[in-house]
Amino acid sequence: MSDSTDDDDGQSKFYSLIGYSITRWAHAEAAVYHLCRLCLGSSERLAAIVFYRTPSLDGRLQLVSEMIPAALELDDAEAKKNPLVREWLEILKAMNDQKQVRNHLAHQPVTSRMNASISLSDPARNRVESFVSVPQSPQEALRRRASRVEVRAEELEPHYRAVEAATGRLWSLYEALEKALADARAKLPE
Q: Average pLDDT of 32-44?
A: 97
Number of domains in the chain: 1
**133 has pLDDT over 70:** no
Domain extent for 139 = 4-186
Name the burial class of residue 68, with classes exposed (0-12), middle (13-18) and buried (19+) by CB atoms within 10 angstroms of its CB: buried
Q: How far is CA 136 from CA 25, 96, 179, in A?
A: 20, 19, 44
Q: Average pLDDT of 149-175?
A: 91
Q: How confident is the model at residue 149 (pLDDT cuts 50, 70, 90)?
A: low
What's residue 63's pLDDT? 98
**74 has pLDDT over 60:** yes
Q: How confident is the model at residue 177 (pLDDT cuts 50, 70, 90)?
A: very high
